[in-house]
Amino acid sequence: MSVFAAAMDRLFTHASMAAPALWISATTSEERPIRIIRRAPDRATDFGAGRFVSDTTVVDVRVADLPAPRPGDVIVINADSHVIQGEPLRDRERLIWTLDLRPA
């Protein structure tokens, strides 16, 4: 295990950095508990001469916890369900998935 992988593991197990969630497969209904780091950046979208700012929900998940997330899978955070939209992206080290979510 690399030093970077060990650091990521510590971040995802730290109670104030990461939170528990539940992943549910859209195709098989398989469920798996995961740990996530939640972000909520504003996203600016240009439309003609206008510009719209919208709230987003983005989470990071360890590849070790969730090897193959797919669009349409559900992530349950507390009592809120979210659907993965778009293709999941991995970081350069191939340790972390970044998932763009929308409310279910």
What are the pLDDT digits (tens) for 12-71? 888 889 999 999 999 999 999 999 999 877 777 788 888 888 778 899 999 999 999 999
Domain count, the chain: 1
For residue 79, pLDDT beyond 80: yes
**CA torsion through residues 9, 13, 18, 19, sign:** positive
Give the per-residue pLDDT at 1.
64
Who has greater pLDDT, 8 or 60? 60
What are 100's two structure tokens?
Answer: 């763009």
CATH number for the domain including 92?
A: 2.40.10
For residues 55 and 2, which has the higher predicted lDDT (pLDDT)?
Answer: 2
Task: Provide the CA 46 distance to its chain's centre, in angstroms.
Answer: 25
Q: Three-state DSSP class for 77?
A: strand
72 and 26 Cβ atoms separated by less than 8 Å: yes
Containing structural domain, residue 39: 3-103
Per-residue pLDDT at 75:
97
Calculate ∠ Cα 64-102-81, nearest 5°: 70
Residue scoring higher pLDDT (77 or 43): 77
